[in-house]
Structure 1
Amino acid sequence: MALILVTGAAGGLGRNTANALVDDGHDVVVHVRNPARLTGAEDTARWKGVVTGDLADLDEIRDAARQAGEFGRFDAVIHNAGTMDSRDAGTVNTVAPYLLTALMDKPARLIHLSSSMHRSGSTDLRRLAAGTASYDDSKLWVTTLAFALASRWQGTTSHAVDPGWVPTRMGGAGAPDDLTAGHQTQVWLATHRDVTPNTGGYWYHRQTQNPHPAAQDEEFQARLVQALESHTGVALD
């Protein structure tokens, strides 16, 4: 049994991921922006706990990290929360995973949700501080962050996952990919030991793919971490 945090778990892929993990017998802490979306009796009893906070706000990210820290060290953290809103994409999709990781005890496994659209992202990190990052930019950056963390700490692995274009509220009803397959890779990476590569993989439906070359560029990784440290005022180490 593992203790696992899933961000953005009020619905969609995050909720499906959390449900699958609980069904497999794991203790799951869910993060939601709006606790009013957890209103059923099942939501009271099913989860190990609930963390709340708007991941578009740096202060609320910090508070979410504090809340999560009350549960101790997680076996896995799945950074599922995301938005396509260009006003918040950089913060929710990239800064929040960075800041939560920097402020929390290091888990055994980090899993970051990417997107095939990361291949259209920009390496212009001035967009981070300016708040002008596109969705594509933010997904390139969080993929890069996943690889930057892959060998940073002994005892912590890190991966990026493309869940596919699936029919969720974000993806839209006409999205062509399989909704169930959209969460299965995250569950597998969070709970199975027999994973190759052990760290630093870019995954789509439990198969590795080649990401944007910049994501594996150690110089760009270093520049991204430096930009995130400067933007948040919090260092990784």
Structure 2
Amino acid sequence: MARIFISGSSTGLGFMAAELLAAQGHQVVLHARNAARAEVARRALPKAEAVVVGDLETIAGAKALATRVNELGRFHTVIHNAAVGYREGQRLTTDGLPHVFAINTLSAYILTALIEKPKRLVYLSSGMHHDADANLDDILWRKRRWNGSAAYAESKLHDAMMAFAIARRWPDVFSNALEPGWVPTRMGGPGAPDDMDQAHRTQAWLAASDDPQAQVSGQYFYHLRPLAPNPQAKDAALQNRLIALCEKLSSVHLPA
């Protein structure tokens, strides 16, 4: 059985994936933004090995969370699920970064770089990434007028780029991305049309399945099936630029 850490898993799809994995007999560690959310998650899933508390909004918070995760020992899989949605207004973190970018893109990079290398990495993207542009020349939205939907879509493209960059750099790790569908979570909204029962299954499958189709790397999935991502996600030059930007902003180096 696998030992799995899931960021942003006190509610929503992250929690649903944790429930499924725990029911399958895997050891699951949850993540909550604060102590109150952690307590709710702990009561909702008493099978969870632990609930780690940490706020991913800041660079220091993401670094601290990685330290707490490492203190628990090595994990077979890390699922990068934490995110804020497309309805976010424009606001800056205390680091001076757009909130959407800080959580959806930069914290995923920091956790990837600092958590001890697992055997599998799973990154949650979104169907909205297909029509996005990486916009690496203005990744912090300093030249453009803010658009929450575009900022979210870009961040989800970044997550796919990161998954594929890691697949190239760490050939001993299965690193993949997926889209769960537009489902009626708190983030997706009550009118979202996709199947909620399918939304969490692909990340759980990629995290722990012995299915040969899940033991791959550098792939993009939707509902357990491979799907072609935005071509920019597969562009090695863009991937390298994204990693370099995240490294510069966070002062965190991605191990070779």
> Normalised by the shorter chain, which TM-score bucket?
over 0.9
2:177 corresponds to 1:146: no
Deviation per CA, 1:75-120: give whole Å up to 9, x if none: 0001111102254111111111110011111010000000011123
On the 8 A contact 1:151/1:157 being kept in 2, the answer is no
Secondary structure, in 3 states, of the residue corresponding to 2:199?
A: helix
CA–CA separation in structure 2 for the residues paired with 1:155 and 1:72: 19
Name the % identity.
42
2:136 corresponds to 1:116: no
CA 1:196/1:23 → structure 2, altered by over 3 Å: closer, same or farther? closer
Secondary structure, in 3 states, of the residue corresponding to 2:245?
A: helix
CA–CA separation in structure 1 for the residues paired with 2:171 and 2:219: 17
2:236 corresponds to 1:218: yes
CA offset at residue 192 of structure 1?
Answer: 1.4
CA RMSD of aligned residues (A): 1.7
Which one of 193, 218, 225 corresponds to residue 176 of structure 1? 193
Q: Which residue does the alignment assign to 2:75?
A: 74
- Count the aligned residue pairs: 237
CA–CA separation in structure 2 for the residues paired with 1:44 and 1:11: 11
Q: Which residue does the alignment assign to 1:48?
A: 49
CA–CA separation in structure 2 for the residues paired with 1:199 and 1:91: 25
Q: Which residue does the alignment assign to 2:11?
A: 11
CA offset at residue 178 of structure 1?
Answer: 0.8
CA–CA separation in structure 1 for the residues paired with 2:79 and 2:235: 23
On the 8 A contact 1:125/1:224 being kept in 2, the answer is yes
CA offset at residue 43 of structure 1?
Answer: 4.5
More displaced 10-residue stretch of structure 1: 3-12 or 147-156:
147-156
CA offset at residue 45 of structure 1?
Answer: 3.2
On the 8 A contact 1:4/1:75 being kept in 2, the answer is yes
Q: Which residue does the alignment assign to 2:224?
A: 206
Q: Which residue does the alignment assign to 1:31?
A: 31
More displaced 10-residue stretch of structure 1: 10-19 or 150-159:
150-159
Q: Which runs of 5+ in 1 are unaligned?
A: none
- Letter of the 1:69 partner, please give it: N
On the 8 A contact 1:148/1:218 being kept in 2, the answer is yes
More displaced 10-residue stretch of structure 1: 213-222 or 121-130:
121-130
CA–CA separation in structure 2 for the residues paired with 1:192 and 1:68: 22
CA 1:10/1:196 → structure 2, altered by over 3 Å: closer, same or farther? closer
2:192 corresponds to 1:191: no
CA offset at residue 74 of structure 1?
Answer: 0.7
CA 1:16/1:196 → structure 2, altered by over 3 Å: closer, same or farther? closer
CA 1:19/1:196 → structure 2, altered by over 3 Å: closer, same or farther? closer
Q: Which runs of 5+ in 2 are unaligned?
A: 92-98
CA–CA separation in structure 2 for the residues paired with 1:13 and 1:54: 18
Q: Which residue does the alignment assign to 2:94?
A: none
On the 8 A contact 2:56/2:62 being kept in 1, the answer is yes
CA 1:57/1:145 → structure 2, altered by over 3 Å: closer, same or farther? same
On the 8 A contact 1:129/1:231 being kept in 2, the answer is no
- Letter of the 1:178 partner, please give it: D
2:31 corresponds to 1:20: no
- Letter of the 2:54 partner, please give it: G
